[in-house]
Every structure is written in structure tokens, then in C-alpha cells.
Amino acid sequence: MVACVIVNWNGWRDTIACLRTLKEQTAPLEVIVVDNGSTNDSVAQIKAFLAATPAGSVPITLVEHPENVGFGRGTNIGIRIAKERGAEFAWLLNNDTECPPDTLAKLLRVANEKPDTGIVGTVLYYHHDPSQVQAWSGGRISRWLGTSLHYTSPQPQVPGSYTTFASALVRMQVLDEIGMIYEGFFMYYEDSELCMRMEHTPWKIAVAADTKVLHKEGASTGEARNPFMEKTIAVSGMLFLRMHSPMFIVSLPLFLAIKLLNRARRGEWAAFRAVLRAVAEFQSTPMVPPPVRRRS
């Protein structure tokens, strides 16, 4: 059984559009929507949509969480419910995506053909320009700098490869063995961090190359380079380096220097100040170690 886990925060319009496409999937699944403490009428709107829509073959559960606990914790809430219901796979999906009816079937085909596959990624296309690839499953992240390169064409799996959680089919056995999504991040880096842990196991990353998921990107955070986004990315990047850098004492100043110099060069002073605020927040953030269990 597959459970699709979606986190919603104030994005009910996108979430409902996503749910409409999930109800058309040809492969069986159930959907778990975790409302992450929305401050608008998201819960009421989603409930109204569910009440007005025939249940059909795709059951949808809405979980109302009282506060915004971030993407990782919100997703883990849904994954734990899926585990309790006996799901073999969790399809992690951003609420601002839309999926053709055969998307899940293609993901499952790859997972079943390759039993050592722990995560199956999809090919993401821009919602506003469906002819343009946004990400070919994911990309590669540097353990030294915390910077990532997004793939837009097929690439071999190498150390540092990751699959974006905008749309990824994750085998539950992987989470049982290496632990759940790291909850120390509020947002960003969750996917690359989990894939770094998976590198120490025999599990592999695969891509369902014939999928085409449309992604609006940034619907929950607003326009790119706003101060909230800058600060959040910087804090998460520093946390990632503290966990995975070969030499954190070297990586941290390099990471900050690159960010601050780029913002100064572009005259993005609000973003520059946001990175400085991130340093203070990082220094006051207690380290939450990710749960790790090795394969026996």
C-alpha cells in the first residue's frame, strides 16, 4: 500500500488542485494531508472540498496540527500515520504539484523492478512552462559548502546525489533502518540530508524518467530571495554542514562567505541582513541528532 503525504500551510488552493490529480491516479493509494497550523481558512476549505467530492477509490485523511512545526516534522506526522496503517511506501509530495494519472504507477514500476531502490524520484517540470524541466529527480550537494546543483537531465548517482522531496516515493523500510526525516530543519535540506544518511547503506536512488510532475515551487514561502527564505535556507545549510561536513570548522566560514559576498555583490542588503540573523539563530539552535540505524 502507498500513502501520499502532503503538508499544507495556508495553501489550500494549491492543495485542492493537487488532490484533484491524486484522485485520478490509476494505482491504488491513500492520501494524508497534514495541515501545519495554517493561519487562514485552509482547514475549512479542504474539508469543504472533501465533503463535496465523492470518496471514490482514493481515501483522503486531513490531519489538523495546531502549529506550524516545519516541513520535516509535518511530513513525519503523516509518515507515522501511514506506517500505522501498514503502508509499504510513502509518496512525499509538495502541495503545489499536479500529477498525471499514471505518475504513481510509474514510480511503483521502478521500485518493484529494482528492489534495492530506497527512493524513486520524479522528473519535475515548471507549472507555468510544462515544456521545461525544473529538476531531473534532484541533484548533487556539496558536503563542504552546503551548495547544491540541480539536475535537469539524466545523471549518474554519485556521492552527494539526492532526490527532491517535492515528489519522491520512499520505501518505508529505508526509514525504519536509517531513521525518519530530520526534524532539526524548519524547512529546506531535509531531502539531501536523508539521502546522505542513505549513502551508508546498500539502498539506491532511482528515477522514474517517464514521469512528468508539474511544480509551482515556492507557493508556501512566497517569492524567491525574500528575507524569511534567506534566513531559513542559511540556518538549515549550517545545520546540514554541522552534520555532514568532513571539516565543519572550514566549511562554515566558506558557506557564510559565499552567501554574504553574493548578496553584497548583488546589492541584496535585506538578504544580507537575513543571513546575519541566521548566524545568531544557528548559534542558539540546539543540535538535534538524526536517528540512525544501520542495516544488520
* Residues 151/139, Cβ–Cβ less than 8 Å: yes
Residue ending a domain, among 195, 215, 235, is: 215
Q: To the nearest whole percent, how much of the chain has pLDDT over 70?
A: 94
77 shares a domain with 182: yes
267, 198: one domain: no
Instruction: Indicate whether 270 belongs to any domain.
Output: yes
As a whole number of angstroms, the distance between CA 288 and CA 296 comes to 24
pLDDT of residue 294: 52
- Looking at the structure, do residues 198 and 233 belong to the same domain, yes or no? no
Q: What's the rounded Cα separation, in Å, for the pair 100 and 93?
A: 13
The dihedral through the CA atoms of 155, 99, 107, 74 has a sign that is: positive
pLDDT band at 262 (very low <50, low <70, confident <90, very high): very high
Q: Give the pLDDT mean for 63-75.
A: 96
Q: Is-contact 242 288, C-beta < 8 A?
A: no
Whether residue 209 has pLDDT greater than 70:
yes
**Residue 293 — pLDDT band, cuts 50, 70, 90?**
low
Mean pLDDT of 85-108: 98
pLDDT surpasses 50 at 95: yes
Give Cβ neighbours of residue 151 (< 8 Å, ≥ 6 apart): 135, 136, 137, 138, 139, 140
- Phi, psi at residue 127, to the nearest 5°? -65, -40
One domain, residues 198 and 241: no
pLDDT higher than 90, residue 163: yes
Tell me, yes or no, whether 174 and 249 share the same domain: no
Q: Is there a domain that residue 268 lies in?
A: yes
Counting Cα atoms < 13 Å in the Cβ hemisphere of 212 gives: 9
pLDDT band at 56 (very low <50, low <70, confident <90, very high): confident
Binned at pLDDT 50, 70 and 90, residue 183 comes out as very high
Whether residue 83 sits in one domain with residue 161: yes
In this predicted structure, the answer to whether residue 292 has a pLDDT above a threshold of 70 is no
Would you state the pLDDT for residue 290?
65
End-to-end CA distance of the chain: 25
CATH number of the domain at 164, please.
3.90.550.60
Q: What is the distance between the alpha carbons of residues 215 and 93, in angstroms, rounded to a whole number?
A: 10
Residue 294 within a domain: no
State whether 168 and 74 are in the same domain: yes
Asked whether the predicted pLDDT for residue 17 surpasses 50, the reply is yes
Residue 54 pLDDT more than 90?
Answer: no
Lowest mean pLDDT among 35-44, 200-209, 230-239, 282-291: 282-291
78 assigned to some structural domain:
yes
Determine the pLDDT at residue 296. Answer: 44
- Number of independent structural domains in the chain: 2
103 located within any domain: yes
Q: Are residues 111 and 28 in the same domain?
A: yes
End of a domain among 215, 240, 256? 215
pTM of the model: 0.93
Mean of pLDDT values over 178-184: 94
What pLDDT sits at residue 224?
52
The pLDDT value given to residue 57 = 75
Residue 293, domain member (yes or no)? no
Q: Tell me what pLDDT residue 286 has.
A: 74
Same domain, 196 and 249: no
| Residue span of the structural domain in which 178 resides | 2-215
- Average pLDDT score over residue span 158-168: 94
> Which single residue is written with the C-alpha cell 545545520?
239
Among 215, 246, 265, the domain boundary falls at 215
Dist. CA 233–CA 33, nearest whole Å: 24
Please determine, for residue 25, whether its predicted confidence score (pLDDT) is greater than 70: yes
Q: Are residues 99 and 39 in the same domain?
A: yes
In a domain, 222, yes or no: no
Q: What is the pLDDT of residue 173?
A: 97
Banded model confidence at residue 291, pLDDT cuts 50, 70, 90: low
CA 290, 293, 296: angle at the middle one, nearest 5? 165
Q: 58-67, 238-247, 287-296: which range is least confident on average?
A: 287-296
Domain assignment of residue 81, yes or no: yes
Question: Residue 53: pLDDT band by 50, 70, 90 thresholds?
Answer: confident
Q: Residue 197: what pLDDT? A: 94
- 105 with 84, same domain: the answer is yes
pLDDT digits (tens, 9 = 90+) for 216-259: 975 444 445 689 999 999 999 999 999 999 999 999 999 999 99
* Same domain? 39 vs 134: yes
**pLDDT above 90 (res 83):** yes
